Amino acid sequence: MDETEIFRGIENSQDDMAASLMEMCAIPAVNPAFGGTGEYERMRWITKFLEAHAIPYQVIEVADDRVKEQKRLNILVKLDGSAPSDQTLWFVAHTDMVSAGDLAAWNSDPFKPLLKDGMIYGRGTEDDGQAVISSLYACLTLKERGIKPQCNVGFAFVSDEEAGSQFGFKSLIAKGVFKANDEAVVPDSGSPDGSFIEIAEKSIAWVRFTVVGKQAHASMPHLGINASSISAHFSAELEDLLKSTFPDRDDLFDPPYSTFELTQKYANVDSPNVLPGKDVFVMDMRILPKFKITEIVKEIDRLSTVYEYRHKVKISYEFLQQVEAPLPTPTDARIVANLARSLGEMGITPRMGGIGGGTFAAMLRELGIPAAVWSTIDEVAHQANEYAIVANLVQDTKVFVATVLKYR
């Protein structure tokens, strides 16, 4: 198989890839957890793409009464290898996205993709539109050129990644889609030069805190308990406490320490002269694998007890997401070695490391399935003016195909 010829064909598809990304990302797919309509129409776009190229696929539906269709879709494509095999090399991408955030911070409409200077701007173009399009064109290349490695090659396009994967990847795992001897590439993180291969992730905890005091007129604060003020002090002290209690470093990760960041702040009262009786906030925690989430919980409970006693409030919390970090993918795992070889042959020196963000790879590693997270991106996910570089669509597709070719 002449890789040069294959790569030339991929390069010649650059305009088609760019057009596909813009067309797909013009279809709103904000996760319903963030007030959006979900990915249903975007998934229908993917099925039409596959049908147009005669690529067989399977749709797995998961019920969800928050969306008008009452269901979320997940699409699987599996190409058979050259010999009977129970091993599949998966490429996994998600189709949902977060909301645009502050529209005033955007230089263009986030839901109308804009091609400018070799970049496509719009919400979801990098996260995870680039991965979806590169995976589709890698799949198309394998099918049209009759490339059959010794293992099967699978492509999964899934829902709900941005809000915990209950209606997407977790459902696929529960249905036994992924087998013990499978391997996977998850193109959901990376570096601008394509050198970074992620093999480890931190534990993740999104914790929503509720502080309950007593509402009163703001001019008569002695008649109430100001939940907003107490919540502000508690949240700031908790952040400082966790950062000082768990300061350890691990240079495998970037950043090389655990992070504890205050994020969402919920509305409390509708009037400026009302003393809030309840205040709600969220903390995003990304914890080095050496620490258990239970250790963090002990510190939360200890400080909560102090504040409840001192300020006569009630503090409760719930986990919006909780993922304990699994063991890293070994550096000598076949998928890591093959991906590194593919990069090396393209003049890119690979480097392995870990991240704080959560991807499907963590769930696969929990199953004992080696997974490598890789793509060529500037890491502008969730930012205003998010973009995907058109040349990276080509680069990633070539690397996916080159990695498949190593399975012989």
Q: Which helix (H) or strand (E) holds 362?
A: helix 360-366
Residue 107 carries which DSSP code? S
CB 91 within 8 A of CB 158: no
Strand partners, 216: 275
CA–CA gap between residue 408 and residue 404 (Å, rounded) = 9
What does the alpha-carbon distance between residue 107 and residue 126 come to, in Å, rounded to a whole number?
16
List the beta bridge partners of residue 286. 204, 259
CA-CA distance, 118 to 183, in Å (whole number)? 33
**Which H, E and C letters describe 285-345, residue by residue?**
EEECCCCCHHHHHHHHHHHHHHHHHHHCCEEEEEEEEEECCCCCCCCCCHHHHHHHHHHHH
Q: Beta 119-121 vs 387-389: how paired, if at all?
A: antiparallel
The DSSP secondary-structure symbol of 126 reads I
Q: Which run of H or E residues covers position 69?
A: none
Q: Which of 39, 96, 201, 386 is catalytic?
A: 96
**CA 138, CA 90: separation in Å to the nearest integer?**
12
The two tokens of residue 157 are 């396009």
Q: Which of 127, 128, 160, 161 is catalytic?
A: 161
Contact 98, 30 (CB under 8 A): yes
Question: What pairs with residue 94 in β-bridges?
Answer: 158
Which parts of 224-258 are beta strand (E)? 253-254
Distance CA 79, CA 58 (A): 12
Is 274 in a helix, a strand, or coil? strand
Concerning whether 61 is annotated as a catalytic residue, the answer is: no
Q: How far apart are CA 195 and CA 343, in angstroms?
A: 7
Residue 269 to residue 228: CA distance in whole angstroms = 10
Catalytic annotation present for 96? yes
Q: Which residues are catalytic?
A: 96, 161
